[in-house]
């Protein structure tokens, strides 16, 4: 074997081990007994130690230096780009620090869940302080400039900077606040009535997953407190959750995670267990989950089909017809929980977290003051007070597991989804006719061809601009939201 072949074989084994580590995380969220957290932390730390050693192995550096990238094809160049980025990152982070972070965040996840259940932020403060300290140490080891937050962003959205995102979000926020205010002055949409059997919810959830193209021969659906997706290639798993009085929580969590899962399943099989065999970034990933969930799943055309499915399985549930059902699916109401937020308000939740975590990382905000800072900012953006820590700064798992820099990719994904949707509509002018039949194939095929099959072959911004034919901006998303909700609420 030549050096390139040796490097790619070594990296494929590293990718396989990373998938095993991910499966341990999936099990922790779905199947593992609560008393197993300490041992699971040790197991994950052990695998992380092996992964870190492989990623920064001197032999990898030697292979990289011996390979002339100029002689390679596009795929090999992309693989080398990603392997090199991983190698250089791993070289800068001490192995014991990587293991400590893995162990600490595994255990802190359970402590977060307890604090959230108890509505006790004070109990979580020392845990979060330790996680933040470790992540700042990691950031300082990696930093190539003075902004630690930019260093953290690279892990989730290569090429993004806090300044670029701040400008984009700054242009997005005023329009969202204005639209939200206008909507909440109107009469609210009708609500679902009665209770909805959880077994039936899961049955419809599986139907939705298959309708949106999720391959259950290479995946599965389980329940979790915080829905997520995991894996790639031939083993992609998603989770959902049920609520006896709110089946939309289950249905749209499922569609959202199917967007993530289908992206991974639809990547070109020849990229499997390689450095480009997963999504291009978290922002690009989120574009798939959001366009599946919102622009497609909450469209007037598709909700007409979903209305009939719910009537078939649940009988009368208080909504007169498909038009009223569409308004109910897209209702804008006061609330505290990001994952339950409507399209108009969702990004306001994310922008709040983006600003607060930047302040935490820079040291401008102390962990002990996070709850009050959160509550103050929430009141500014939403106009009412947070009632409990579980509705506020303890609602998300991300900070407990050290995912600083992750939150902005949610809004970036929405921006990307707005751009993709604009081009999808131009490319598929008869799309609504198919959505009314519950046929998502034209949309999902277009997304697979234009974006999903490429995996991480290209950098994130290039992935989106190539699919859309233009540079991404917040304008298509704002236009879509203003048009849709002005029509729904007669603004």
Active site residues: 257
Taking the CA of residue 139 as centre, how many other CA atoms within 13 Å lie in the half-sphere pointing to its CB?
24
The alpha carbon dihedral of 479, 482, 484, 486 has a sign of negative
Long-range (24+ apart) CB contacts under 8 A made by 382-387 are 382/334, 382/345, 382/348, 384/334, 386/336, 387/336
CA 325 to chain CA centroid, Å, is 27
Who contacts 275 (Cβ-Cβ below 8 Å, separation ≥6)?
A: 11, 15, 78, 79, 82, 83, 86, 456
CB 44 within 8 A of CB 104: no
């Amino acid at each position: 074997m030549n050096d390139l072949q040796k490097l790619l074989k070594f990296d494929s084994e590293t990718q396989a081990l990373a998938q095993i580590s991910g499966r341990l995380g999936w099990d922790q969220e779905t199947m593992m007994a609560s008393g197993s957290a300490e041992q699971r932390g040790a197991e994950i730390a052990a695998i992380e130690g092996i992964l870190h050693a492989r990623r920064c192995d001197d032999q990898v550096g030697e292979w990289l230096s011996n390979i002339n990238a100029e002689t390679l094809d596009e795929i090999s160049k992309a693989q080398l780009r990603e392997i090199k980025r991983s190698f250089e990152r791993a070289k800068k982070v001490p192995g014991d620090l990587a293991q400590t972070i893995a162990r600490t965040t595994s255990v802190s996840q359970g402590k977060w869940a307890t604090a959230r259940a108890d509505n006790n932020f004070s109990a979580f403060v020392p845990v979060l302080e330790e996680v933040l300290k470790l992540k700042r140490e990691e950031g300082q080891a990696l930093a190539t400039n003075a902004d630690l937050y930019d260093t953290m962003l690279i892990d989730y959205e290569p090429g993004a900077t806090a300044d670029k995102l701040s400008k984009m979000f700054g242009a997005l926020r005023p329009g969202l606040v204005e639209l939200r205010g206008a909507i909440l002055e109107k009469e609210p949409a009708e609500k679902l009535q009665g209770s909805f059997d959880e077994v039936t919810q899961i049955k419809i959830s599986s139907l939705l997953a298959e309708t949106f193209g999720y391959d259950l021969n290479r995946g599965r659906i389980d329940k979790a407190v915080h829905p997520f997706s995991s894996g790639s290639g031939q083993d992609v798993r998603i989770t959902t959750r049920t609520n006896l009085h709110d089946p939309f929580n289950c249905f749209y969590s499922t569609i959202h995670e199917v967007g993530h899962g289908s992206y991974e399943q639809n990547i070109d099989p020849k990229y499997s267990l390689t450095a480009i065999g997963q999504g291009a970034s978290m922002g690009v990933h989120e574009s798939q989950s959001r366009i599946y969930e919102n622009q497609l799943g909450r469209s007037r055309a598709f909700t007409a089909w979903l209305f009939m499915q719910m009537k078939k399985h649940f009988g009368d549930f208080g909504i007169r017809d498909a038009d009223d059902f569409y308004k109910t699916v897209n209702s804008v109401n006061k609330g505290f929980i990001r994952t339950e937020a409507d399209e108009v308000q969702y990004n306001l939740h994310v922008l709040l977290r983006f600003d607060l975590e930047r302040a935490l990382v820079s040291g401008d905000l102390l962990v002990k003051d996070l709850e009050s800072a959160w509550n103050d900012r929430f009141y500014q953006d939403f106009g009412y007070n947070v009632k409990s820590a579980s509705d506020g700064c303890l609602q998300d798992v991300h900070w407990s597991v050290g995912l600083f820099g992750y939150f902005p990719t949610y809004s970036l994904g929405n921006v990307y989804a707005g751009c993709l949707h604009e081009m999808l509509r131009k490319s598929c002018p008869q799309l609504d006719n198919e959505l009314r039949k519950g046929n998502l194939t034209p949309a999902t095929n277009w997304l697979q061809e234009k974006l999903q099959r490429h995996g991480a072959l290209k950098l994130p911004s290039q992935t989106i601009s190539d699919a859309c034919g233009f540079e991404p901006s917040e304008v298509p998303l704002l236009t879509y939201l203003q048009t849709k909700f002005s029509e729904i609420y007669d603004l």
